[in-house]
C-alpha cells in the first residue's frame, strides 16, 4: 500500500510518490511515449482494492507552447482506495472545509486554486501591490469560510497532492531531499492558479542545489523580471528548507548557495515568530535541525584528525567513528522546517538575486517529511513510522483551530481508516472537546472506536496508549 505504482501501456512502471527517484523530465518522457497507446491498454493503480481506479494520460499545451502529460483519474472512477496515491480524502477529514467551494476546483489535469495573491498582476500607474485577503494571524471564527488560500494553505495543498502527508513502510528509505523536490516539481504541474500553471512560477530547492536548480532559477528570473515599460508583475513560488527567520530575511542555506536573498517585511517576520502554533513548531524544528547538523559537522571535522595520529590506535578511531555515526543518525532523524514563499524576483545586484517576499508560511516536518502541528504529534508520527504503520496526517490548511478532524488516520486497519486524536493542550477543556469529537467520529466514521492520547493537561497519560 501507499507506494502506488502504475504500469503504462509501454510496460514501463512509474511510482506516483516518486520513490523511484525519477525526475520530472524522465516522468514526462515516459508519459509522452505511452500517450499514443493509452487506449490500447487501460492504466490502473497497483492496489489490490476494488473497484479499480481507472486512469489515463492527458496531454495539454500550455500558454507558452510547451506540452505536458499528466496521469489523471477518470472522474467517474473509484476514489475510495485508502492508502493509495489516488485516494481523495473528503473535505471534512481535513481543514479544506474552511474554504468556500470556489477556492479549489477540479480541472482536467489536477486542481485550480485561488490564492491570496494572483501569480500575475497588471499594475496600473502608481497602483499598489495586491493585498492578502486572510489576516497574517488567523482570527476568523470557524463559521466563516475563506475565499482564497494563504501561503500556509497552499503549502498544505502542495504536500497533500504530492502524497507527502501519508506514509507506508514501503516508502522507508526512499524519501530523500532530492526525491521530495522532484515530486514537488511534478505536483506543481498539476496545479493551476487563476489561469497560470504553477510550475511556470515554481522553484523547489534541495539543501544543496545543483546546476539544474541554478538554471531553473535563472529561467524563472528571466521570465519574472519584466521589461521596464511593462506593468505586469509576476510572482514566484519558492519552497525549500528553512534555517531561521530574521527580522528582514528568511535564512535558507539552499537559497544562499544560489545567491538568492529572501527579503521579508518586519510584520511578516513577527507573524512567523508568534509563539504557539505551527510557525513556532517550525522554528523549533529548524533549530533542532541546525543543532544536529552542527554536531554532525563537528564530528566529521574530528574524523581525519584521528588518522593523523597513528599512536592513537584503532580503538580511538572506532570510538570516534561511533560518535560520528550517532551524530549522522541524529541529523538524519531530525525534524526540519519547510518554507513556502510568494515573492517578486528583483533584477540582479552584486551577483545576487533579491526576492521581495509578499507572503510566506513555515511548516515543521518529521525526518520522513510528514507534517505535524505539535511536539506530541511529532512523537506519534515518528512512532507510527517506527512501528511500520500506514497512515495519513490530515492537514489544517487555513481552517480555524476549532475545526474538528482527526490528527492522524491509520490506513492499515481494514476495512476503514481509524482516526487518532492527540489532546496536547493543557488549556483545553478536553472533556467538552472530547464530546465534540465523539459526535464527529460517530457521524463521519460511523464508529465509536477512535484512538486518543491525553498528552497534556487533566487526566494525562504518561504512556502513549497501545495502537489498534
Ligand atoms: Zn489505488
Task: Give the Å distance between the CA of 211 and the centre of ligand 1.
Answer: 36
Q: How far is 148 from 277, CA to CA, in rounded Å?
A: 21
- Grid cell, residue 60, equals 495539454
What pairs with residue 260 in β-bridges?
Answer: 353
The closest alpha carbon to 282, from 369, 365, 395, belongs to: 365
The CA 94 to ligand 1 mean position distance, Å, reads 20
Please report, for the chain, the start and end positions of each structural domain, with discontinuous segments joined by +.
Answer: 1-88, 92-379, 380-454
Give the Å distance between the CA of 92 and the centre of ligand 1: 21
Query: Cell 472537546 identifies what position?
Result: 433
Distance CA 180, CA 159 (A): 10
In DSSP notation, 103-158 reads SEEE-SSSEEE-BSS-SEEEPPTTPPPP--SS-SS----TTSPBSSB-HHHHHHHH
How far is ligand 1, taken at its centre, from the CA of residue 84, in Å?
4
CA-CA distance, 136 to 250, in Å (whole number)? 16
Cα 60 from chain centroid?
A: 25
Distance 282 CA to ligand 1 centre (A): 32
Q: What is the pLDDT of residue 207?
A: 94
> By three-state DSSP, how is residue 236 classified?
strand
Integer Cα distance of 205 and 135 in angstroms: 28
Place of cell 504541474: 189
Spell out where 210-321 has E strands. Answer: 232-234, 236-241, 244-246, 249-251, 260-263
Between the CA of 417 and the centroid of ligand 1 the distance, in Å, is 15
φ, ψ for residue 352, nearest 5 deg? -105, 145
Reported as type and span, the H/E element at residue 305 is helix 277-308
Rounded average pLDDT per 10-residue block, the chain, 468 residues = 83 87 88 92 83 87 82 79 77 87 87 91 61 54 78 95 92 90 92 90 96 93 75 90 96 96 95 90 97 94 63 55 90 97 89 93 97 96 96 93 90 85 76 80 78 85 90
Three-state DSSP class for residue 212: helix
Burial (0-12, 13-18, 19+ Cβ within 10 Å), 105:
exposed
370: exposed, middle or buried (Cβ count in 10 Å: 0-12, 13-18, 19+): buried
Q: How far is the CA of 227 from the centre of ligand 1 (A)?
A: 47
Question: 50 CA distance to ligand 1 centroid (A)?
Answer: 8
Cα of 1 to ligand 1 centre, how many Å?
Answer: 8
Going from the Cα of 106 to the center of ligand 1, the distance in angstroms, rounded, reads 19
The reported pLDDT for the residue numbered 392 is: 93
Residue 422 alpha carbon to ligand 1 centre in Å:
29
Residue 75 Cα to ligand 1 middle (Å): 14
pLDDT at 125: 47
Q: What is the largest CA-CA distance in the chain?
A: 75
The total number of residues written for the chain in this structure = 468
Cell of 273: 515568530
Q: Please name which of 63, 62, 43 lies closest in space to residue 54, comparing C-alpha atoms.
A: 43
In the prediction, which pLDDT does 1 show?
46
- This prediction has a pTM of 0.89
Chain mean position to CA 372: 11
Cell 560520528 found at: 324
Question: Within 10 Å of residue 39's Cβ, how many Cβ atoms?
Answer: 9
| Cα 160 to averaged position of ligand 1 atoms, centre (Å) | 16
Ligand 1: centre distance to CA 386 (Å): 24
Residues at Cβ < 5 Å from ligand 1 ion: 45, 47, 53, 81, 84
Instruction: Tell me, rounded to whole angstroms, the distance of Cα 160 from its chain centroid.
Output: 7
pLDDT at 21: 81
176 Cα to the center of ligand 1, angstroms: 23
Amino acid at each position: 500500500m501507499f507506494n502506488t505504482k502504475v504500469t503504462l501501456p509501454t510496460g514501463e512502471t512509474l511510482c506516483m510518490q516518486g520513490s523511484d527517484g525519477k525526475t520530472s523530465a524522465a516522468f514526462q518522457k515516459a508519459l509522452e511515449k505511452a500517450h499514443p497507446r493509452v487506449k490500447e491498454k487501460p492504466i490502473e493503480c497497483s492496489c489490490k482494492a476494488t473497484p479499480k481506479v481507472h486512469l489515463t494520460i492527458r496531454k495539454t499545451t500550455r500558454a507558452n507552447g510547451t506540452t505536458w502529460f499528466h496521469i489523471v483519474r477518470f472522474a467517474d472512477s473509484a476514489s475510495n482506495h485508502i492508502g493509495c496515491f489516488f485516494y481523495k480524502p473528503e473535505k471534512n477529514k481535513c481543514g479544506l472545509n474552511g474554504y468556500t467551494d470556489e477556492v479549489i476546483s477540479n480541472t482536467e489535469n489536477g486542481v485550480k486554486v485561488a490564492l491570496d495573491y494572483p501569480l500575475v498582476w497588471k499594475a496600473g500607474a502608481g497602483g499598489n501591490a495586491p493585498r492578502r485577503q486572510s489576516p497574517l494571524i488567523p482570527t476568523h471564527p470557524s463559521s466563516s469560510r475563506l475565499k482564497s488560500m494563504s501561503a500556509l494553505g497552499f503549502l498544505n495543498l502542495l504536500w497533500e497532492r504530492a502524497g507527502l502527508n501519508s506514509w507506508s513502510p514501503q516508502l522507508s528509505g526512499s524519501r530523500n531531499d532530492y526525491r521530495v523536490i522532484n515530486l514537488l516539481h511534478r505536483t506543481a504541474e498539476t496545479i493551476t492558479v487563476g489561469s497560470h500553471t504553477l510550475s511556470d512560477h515554481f522553484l523547489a530547492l534541495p539543501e544543496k542545489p545543483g546546476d539544474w536548480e541554478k538554471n531553473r532559477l535563472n529561467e524563472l528570473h528571466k521570465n519574472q523580471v519584466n521589461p521596464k515599460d511593462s506593468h505586469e508583475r509576476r510572482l514566484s513560488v519558492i519552497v525549500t528548507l528553512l534555517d531561521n527567520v530574521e527580522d528582514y530575511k528568511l535564512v535558507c542555506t539552499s537559497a544562499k548557495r544560489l545567491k538568492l536573498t529572501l527579503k521579508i517585511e518586519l510584520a511578516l517576520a513577527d507573524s512567523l515568530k508568534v509563539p504557539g502554533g505551527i510557525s513556532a513548531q517550525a522554528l523549533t524544528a529548524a533549530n533542532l535541525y541546525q543543532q544536529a547538523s552542527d554536531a554532525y559537522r563537528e564530528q566529521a571535522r574530528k574524523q581525519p584528525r584521528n588518522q593523523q595520529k597513528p599512536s592513537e590506535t584503532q580503538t580511538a578511531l572506532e570510538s570516534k567513528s561511533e560518535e560520528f555515526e550517532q551524530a549522522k543518525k541524529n541529523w538524519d532523524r531530525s525534524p526540519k522546517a519547510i518554507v513556502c514563499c510568494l515573492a517578486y524576483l528583483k533584477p540582479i545586484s552584486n551577483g545576487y538575486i533579491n526576492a521581495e517576499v509578499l507572503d510566506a508560511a513555515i511548516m515543521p516536518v518529521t525526518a520522513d517529511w510528514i507534517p505535524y502541528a505539535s511536539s506530541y504529534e511529532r512523537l506519534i508520527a515518528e512512532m507510527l513510522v517506527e512501528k511500520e504503520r500506514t497512515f495519513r496526517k490530515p492537514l489544517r490548511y487555513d481552517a480555524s483551530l476549532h475545526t474538528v478532524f482527526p490528527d492522524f488516520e491509520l490506513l492499515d486497519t481494514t476495512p476503514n481508516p481509524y482516526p487518532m486524536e492527540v489532546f496536547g493542550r493543557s488549556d483545553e477543556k478536553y472533556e467538552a472537546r472530547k464530546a465534540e469529537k465523539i459526535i464527529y467520529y460517530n457521524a463521519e466514521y460511523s464508529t465509536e472506536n477512535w484512538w486518543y492520547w491525553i498528552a497534556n493537561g487533566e487526566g494525562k497519560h504518561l504512556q502513549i496508549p497501545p495502537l489498534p
